[in-house]
Amino acid sequence: MIDWKDKREFWIAGAKIADPESERLRVGSVCVQRGTITDIVWQKSVETDLPVLDAERFVLAPGFIDIHAHLREPGYEEKETIETGSAAAAVGGYTSLVCMANTNPVIDDPSVVEYIACRAQQVGRCRIHVAGAVTKGLLGEIINEYYHLKRAGVVALSDDGSYVANSQVMRSALEYARLHALPVISHCEDSFLAQASQMNEGYTSTRLGLKGSPAAAEEIAVSRDLMLAQLTGGRLHVAHVSTAGAVDLIRRAKKKGVRVTAEATPHHLTLDDRLLESYDTSLKVNPPLRSVKDIDALRAGLLDGTIDCIATDHAPHNEIDKDVEFDEAPFGMIGLETAFAQLHTHLVSKGVVELLDLIRFMTLNPASVLGLPGGRIKKDEPADLVLIDTEEEWTLQKKLIRSRSKNTPLIGASFTGRVQGVFLEGKWQSALTADEKQGMKT
Amino acid sequence: MPFNRRHLLGLEELAADEIQTILDTADTFKEISERPIKKVPALRGKTIANLFYEPSTRTRISFELAEKRLSADTVSFSKAGSSVSKGESLRDTVENIRAMKVDMVVMRHSSSGSHRYLANFLDASVINAGDGQHEHPTQGLLDMMTLRRHWGTLEGKHVTIIGDIMHSRVARSNIWGLTKMGAAVTVCGPSTMMPAEVEKLGDGGVRVEYDIRAAIAEADAINILRIQLERQKARLFPSMREYFEVFGVTPQVLEAAPAHCIVMHPGPMNRGVEIGQDVADGERAVILEQVTNGVAVRMAVLFLVAGGSFDAGAPEQP
């Protein structure tokens, strides 16, 4: 038996190839040699001496790219490490991700950037790009050394977790970042309106006796950032958009030619605030889960291009942190491992979004938003690919979760569609555990 | 209808029949509190832990009295001087209590939803003595008991709740309980203290009024909530004196209410802020009656949650 998984030269034959760039969803075969795609033919089978992976049951897509994940290393390794985060990413179909700067120490010095790049290389399970902090220590007062950070390799700037409340500082950030061709990713939240809030403000927060943050808290901040982007000509990316009003503001700004892009998370596209009546802390996120109307507007925004891409905002917190009274729990849920399955189940299977479009929102689009490589299946491109069984029905069990933290409300949830594994530069990593049946044939 | 719940976490999830059963049982226990020997053996041998994470005089003593009159063994923990002040988590504190084989936990805590959190991992019964801003079911029940004893029924009656509705668990429990029993509720208070979409609360919604006289024009009862300006980090109201001028219930304001309207307050009162001196001590106030009823209601709740029931008309004899 040929063990194709360890060979560096092989064909993946008969898969439905999903390439968003050429807008193709078509049966074909791909040749991978020494980590690169060397040939693509639009046939089910090939004549070859090389090992052949029979992928007839599967969809082959470019490896997913997540431009918003918290890997927690350095500083919070009890929640996640670069190693466990990379493993989680691979299981979710991701071959690249961008990690956020709210580590400890904050990514506001080249040494931290280099540390992360070095660890990522050692772990070797996912390409990790780094976002540097907009301001020193995330304090929102002094802009960082963007030249040095860029030279060390950052692909974007973000104080995510915090909003740069001082408008003059944000103005300078956008202007100075423009000089170094770095996009600024903004976590839009008016911290005063949102202070001490636990969830979305609305009927559910009133019923539950929890302080809510109104949609306006996000919209006021989005508004300000859009105006500053317009004023400075800077490049803005709005993180985790969650309200209908924010989608609207971004849509209008794009029409006016403002250099803005936006992302939405799988949870904001599928889960609404009524779920919080269980007081389950894994539902406690920032921005909070909003109303059904907001979800509808986000989906419409995704379809009309206002929202450019999906990003998980993967935010691990371990049990010690989350197994407490609701208002004591930190904000965040993990998302790398379930993003595709959740969106495939609730958007593609329900006919809201086409499969090829979902793949585009998770590959080509995030790549173009930040100017990252990848997101396409094309000759001479690195073989960063994901193999998906779009029909596999499965249920998430806690023991399947690779992330060090298990803070997701989706434990016990059922999905249609499952990532089987990824090729990272041609090297295979299976998403299924040793116990589970591998449906691959050679 | 038999009461068949392991916990009492709130009034929102109760059916009108269940509330009726609790109120009927409470009436029986009130009678017991009038006897020279105020004790029944109903909960003899049961251990009840009172966990009060927030300061309380009225509610805690009321529960303790209720437990003792039912012959239960009780222990009380308060936050001060306990392991909580040493940083022990709620979960660990309660796990420790569970290890001591306690049958019921009565808890007051500042986090909304903390009782649901407890109920999820305890075998013991959980009784909510107030969770954050969410619910204070025994207060809602004793308020309803008081009103029902005055009118004979709650059906078709109008109750106006005045004060900081946004932060009030008493308001929420009252709204759910009263509307389920067929009463109409009006909420009145400063616009900064009205929670989002409050008009949707309760079975069939509530009326929202910002003018106090309009709010009480048809009220059969007024329930006045305590104002705690100092508790709020974001100052939602500029001063106590302004609150008194605009929303304070004085004898002059009460003239706008029907002559038979009674006045309630969950206590403790801030005289001169939300309630005028003469109203607090006046003849329309039933505040002390509420306190007496509180013990009876809590006896009823503990009894029913523990699985007790009365056959047609025969309570246990001491």
Ordered DSSP codes for B122-169: -SSEEEEEEETTTB-HHHHHHHHHHHHHHHS--TT-EEEEES--TT-H
- In this predicted structure, the answer to whether residue B313 has a pLDDT above a threshold of 80 is no
Say yes or no for a CB contact (<8 Å) between A209 and B135. Answer: yes
Whole-number average pLDDT of chain B: 91
Cβ-Cβ contacts under 8 Å, A209 against chain B: 112-113, 131-135, 169, 172
Mutate to test the interface with A, among B53, B54, B88, B133 (most CBs of A within 10 A): B133
Point out the residue among B131, B169, B196 whose CB comes nearest to the CB of A206.
Answer: B196
Say yes or no for a CB contact (<8 Å) between B91 and A206. Answer: no
Position A6 confidence tier, pLDDT thresholds 50, 70, 90: low
Polymer length of chain B: 318
| Per-residue confidence (pLDDT) for residue B314, from 0 to 100 | 40
Q: Is residue A201 less than 8 Å (CB to CB) from chain B?
A: yes
| Per-residue confidence (pLDDT) for residue A5, from 0 to 100 | 63
- In this predicted structure, the answer to whether residue A309 has a pLDDT above a threshold of 50 is yes
The C-alpha of A59 sits at a distance from chain B's nearest C-alpha, in angstroms, of 41
| Per-residue confidence (pLDDT) for residue B81, from 0 to 100 | 66
DSSP A346-389: IIITTTSS-HHHHHHHHTHHHHHHHT-S-----TTSB--EEEEE
Strands of B259-315, DSSP E: 262-264
| Per-residue confidence (pLDDT) for residue B230, from 0 to 100 | 61
Decide: A290 and A245 in contact? Cβ < 8 Å.
no
Mutate to test the interface with B, among A193, A195, A208, A322 (most CBs of B within 10 A): A208
Query: Percent of chain A beyond pLDDT 70?
Result: 97
| Per-residue confidence (pLDDT) for residue A441, from 0 to 100 | 38
| Per-residue confidence (pLDDT) for residue A438, from 0 to 100 | 52
Cβ-Cβ contacts under 8 Å, B197 against chain A: 202-203, 206
Tokens of A300: 């419409």
The model's pLDDT over B151-176, given as tens digits with 9 standing for 90+, comes to: 999 999 999 999 999 999 999 999 99
Cβ-Cβ contacts under 8 Å, A211 against chain B: 133
Active site (catalytic) residues of A: 313
Cβ-Cβ contacts under 8 Å, A324 against chain B: 89-91
Mutate to test the interface with B, among A203, A325, A326, A327 (most CBs of B within 10 A): A325
**Is the pLDDT higher at B144 or at A432?**
B144
* Helices and strands per DSSP (H, E), number in chain A: 13, 18
The model's pLDDT over A235-285, given as tens digits with 9 standing for 90+, comes to: 999 999 999 999 999 999 999 999 999 999 999 999 999 999 999 999 999
Secondary structure (3-state) at A392: strand
| Per-residue confidence (pLDDT) for residue B234, from 0 to 100 | 66
If one counts every other C-beta atom within 10 angstroms of the C-beta of residue A390, the result is 17
Cβ-Cβ contacts under 8 Å, A206 against chain B: 195-198, 200-201
Give me the residues of A, 270-289, that contact B with CB < 8 A.
Answer: 278-279
Point out the residue among A209, A214, A278 whose CB comes nearest to the CB of B133.
Answer: A209
- Note the Cα B233 to chain centre separation in Å: 24
Contacts of A244 (CB under 8 A, 6+ apart): A215, A293, A294, A296, A297, A298
The model's pLDDT over B2-29, given as tens digits with 9 standing for 90+, comes to: 789 999 999 999 999 999 999 999 999 9
Say yes or no for a CB contact (<8 Å) between B116 and A278. Answer: yes
Residue spans of the domains in chain A: they are: 63-340
Point out the residue among B89, B134, B169 whose CB comes nearest to the CB of A324.
Answer: B89
Mean pLDDT across the stretch A354-378?
98
- In this predicted structure, the answer to whether residue B79 has a pLDDT above a threshold of 80 is no
- Note the Cα A304 to chain centre separation in Å: 20
Secondary structure (3-state) at A267: helix
Distance from C-alpha of A94 to C-alpha of B108, rounded to nearest angstrom = 46
The C-alpha of A189 sits at a distance from chain B's nearest C-alpha, in angstroms, of 17
- In this predicted structure, the answer to whether residue B59 has a pLDDT above a threshold of 50 is yes
| Per-residue confidence (pLDDT) for residue B38, from 0 to 100 | 85
| Per-residue confidence (pLDDT) for residue B235, from 0 to 100 | 79
Cβ-Cβ contacts under 8 Å, A208 against chain B: 112-113, 134
Point out the residue among B89, B117, B196 whose CB comes nearest to the CB of A212.
Answer: B196
Cβ-Cβ contacts under 8 Å, A326 against chain B: 111-114, 117
Say yes or no for a CB contact (<8 Å) between B112 and A209. Answer: yes
The C-alpha of A127 sits at a distance from chain B's nearest C-alpha, in angstroms, of 39
Secondary structure (3-state) at A342: helix
Q: Which CATH superfamily is domain B16-135+294-305 in?
A: Aspartate/ornithine carbamoyltransferase (3.40.50.1370)
pTM: 0.93
For residue A438, the one-letter residue type is Q
Q: Is residue B133 less than 8 Å (CB to CB) from chain A?
A: yes
| Per-residue confidence (pLDDT) for residue A396, from 0 to 100 | 97
Q: Which of B107, B136, B141 is nearest to B122 (CA)?
A: B107
Point out the residue among A202, A214, A328 whose CB comes nearest to the CB of B111.
Answer: A328
The model's pLDDT over A334-356, given as tens digits with 9 standing for 90+, comes to: 999 999 999 999 999 999 999 99
The C-alpha of A412 sits at a distance from chain B's nearest C-alpha, in angstroms, of 17
Residue spans of the domains in chain B: they are: 16-135+294-305, 137-290
Give the residue on B whose Cα is nearest the Cα of A321: B89
The C-alpha of B134 sits at a distance from chain A's nearest C-alpha, in angstroms, of 4
Decide: A314 and A334 in contact? Cβ < 8 Å.
yes
C-alpha pair distances (Å), B283 with each of B100, B207, B286: 47, 27, 8
The model's pLDDT over B210-234, given as tens digits with 9 standing for 90+, comes to: 999 999 999 999 999 998 766 555 6
| Per-residue confidence (pLDDT) for residue B233, from 0 to 100 | 58
Mutate to test the interface with A, among B116, B166, B199, B225 (most CBs of A within 10 A): B116
Decide: A374 and A382 in contact? Cβ < 8 Å.
yes
A350 burial class (0-12, 13-18, 19+ CB within 10 angstroms)?
exposed
- In this predicted structure, the answer to whether residue B317 has a pLDDT above a threshold of 80 is no
Query: Percent of chain A beyond pLDDT 90?
Result: 95
Domain spanning A63-340 has what CATH number?
A: 3.20.20.140
Mean pLDDT across the stretch B109-128?
93
Point out the residue among A202, A279, A323 whose CB comes nearest to the CB of B113.
Answer: A279
Position A104 confidence tier, pLDDT thresholds 50, 70, 90: very high
Contacts of A319 (CB under 8 A, 6+ apart): A405, A406
For residue B129, the one-letter residue type is A
The model's pLDDT over A26-61, given as tens digits with 9 standing for 90+, comes to: 999 999 999 999 999 999 999 999 999 999 999 999
Cβ-Cβ contacts under 8 Å, A214 against chain B: 196
**Is the pLDDT higher at A396 or at A434?**
A396
Cβ-Cβ contacts under 8 Å, A323 against chain B: 91
Tokens of A212: 């809510």
Cβ-Cβ contacts under 8 Å, A195 against chain B: 233-234
The model's pLDDT over A181-194, given as tens digits with 9 standing for 90+, comes to: 999 999 999 999 99
Highest mean predicted confidence (pLDDT) among A428-437, B270-279, B303-312: B270-279
The model's pLDDT over B93-116, given as tens digits with 9 standing for 90+, comes to: 888 888 888 999 999 999 999 999
Whole-number average pLDDT of chain A: 95
Say yes or no for a CB contact (<8 Å) between B111 and A212. Answer: no
Query: Percent of chain B beyond pLDDT 70?
Result: 94
ipTM of the complex: 0.91
| Per-residue confidence (pLDDT) for residue B315, from 0 to 100 | 47
If one counts every other C-beta atom within 10 angstroms of the C-beta of residue A192, the result is 10
The model's pLDDT over A113-143, given as tens digits with 9 standing for 90+, comes to: 999 999 999 999 999 999 999 999 999 999 9
Secondary structure (3-state) at A441: strand
| Per-residue confidence (pLDDT) for residue B309, from 0 to 100 | 78
Cβ-Cβ contacts under 8 Å, B116 against chain A: 278-279
Say yes or no for a CB contact (<8 Å) between A325 and B114. Answer: yes
Give the residue on A whose Cα is nearest the Cα of B118: A325
Q: Is residue A326 less than 8 Å (CB to CB) from chain B?
A: yes
Say yes or no for a CB contact (<8 Å) between B131 and A278. Answer: no
Output Rg (C-alpha) for chain B, integer angstroms.
19
Report the b/e string of A68-101 with b at 16+ CB within 10 A.
Answer: bbbbbbbebbebbbbbbbbbbbbbbbbbbbbbbb
Q: Is residue A216 less than 8 Å (CB to CB) from chain B?
A: no
The model's pLDDT over B255-270, given as tens digits with 9 standing for 90+, comes to: 999 999 999 999 899 8
Q: Is residue B109 less than 8 Å (CB to CB) from chain A?
A: yes
Secondary structure (3-state) at A282: helix
Give the residue on A whose Cα is nearest the Cα of B172: A207
| Per-residue confidence (pLDDT) for residue A136, from 0 to 100 | 98
Q: Is residue A324 less than 8 Å (CB to CB) from chain B?
A: yes
Decide: B274 and B247 in contact? Cβ < 8 Å.
yes
Least confident of A49-53, A170-174, A195-199, A245-249: A49-53
Position A442 confidence tier, pLDDT thresholds 50, 70, 90: very low
CATH architecture designation of domain B137-290: 3-Layer(aba) Sandwich (3.40)
A118 burial class (0-12, 13-18, 19+ CB within 10 angstroms)?
exposed
